Amino acid sequence: MSSIHSGWMEKRQFERIDATIKVTYCLVPKADLVKVLSEPSYRESSADRLPELSKRSATVHAVTRDISMGGMSLVGQGEFPGDAALEIHLYLPGYPAPITLIAEVLRIQSENSSFGGNTYRAGIKILAINRQDVMRLDKYLLAEKIRQRK
């Protein structure tokens, strides 16, 4: 475990589970982000989906290295945007529809890939997720934690 990784652990509020999950993400303009996060109805909603804030941005593919209710580490081929908000679609195994959440990039790190070239890793903090998706993510994390302990 690298010293950077252990440094990240100290600041975590939630236990992270090692998991490789496919994600796609798009940049969210800061002005739109402030608008969404200021709507108190968002977190209380049981079925509302996030507005499609990122339609103007290209979709990028990545995978998680680990995940918790509070955030995740993402690994991808392209450099992650610093000081950016992202709309992330998380494709949990066994669920037909992705979980959609708004998150911010906290840390970025370049890593040498075993296939040659660089991969990039980002520490991501979840800012907004609706109640229905919170329950789906919580259920997945609990099942994955039990599976890994066996």
Beta carbons of 122 and 111 less than 8 angstroms apart = no
Q: Is the pLDDT of residue 12 over 70?
A: no
Tell me how far apart the alpha carbons of residues 134 and 130 are, in angstroms, rounded to a whole number: 6
Domains and CATH numbers, the chain: 3-149 (2.40.10.220)
Beta carbons of 94 and 103 less than 8 angstroms apart = no
Q: Which residues neighbour 87 within 8 Å (Cβ) at sequence distance 6 or greater?
A: 25, 26, 27, 28, 50, 52, 53, 54, 100, 101, 102
Instruction: Report which of residues 136 and 9 the model is more confident about.
Output: 136
């195994």: which residue's tokens? Answer: 93
């709309």: which residue's tokens? Answer: 87
Q: Is the pLDDT of residue 127 over 70?
A: yes
Tell me how far apart the alpha carbons of residues 50 and 130 are, in angstroms, rounded to a whole number: 8
Give the number of other Cβ atoms within 10 Å of residue 79's Cβ: 12
């303009």: which residue's tokens? Answer: 29
Encode pLDDT of 77-117 as tens digits.
Answer: 888 887 778 989 999 988 889 998 989 999 999 887 666 67
Q: Is the pLDDT of residue 28 over 50?
A: yes
Count the residues in the chain: 150
Q: How confident is the model at residue 36 (pLDDT cuts 50, 70, 90)?
A: low
Mean pLDDT of the 43-59 span: 52
Beta carbons of 91 and 137 less than 8 angstroms apart = no
Instruction: Report which of residues 29 and 75 the model is more confident about.
Output: 75
Q: Which residues neighbour 77 within 8 Å (Cβ) at sequence distance 6 or greater?
A: 117, 119, 120
pLDDT value, residue 130: 82
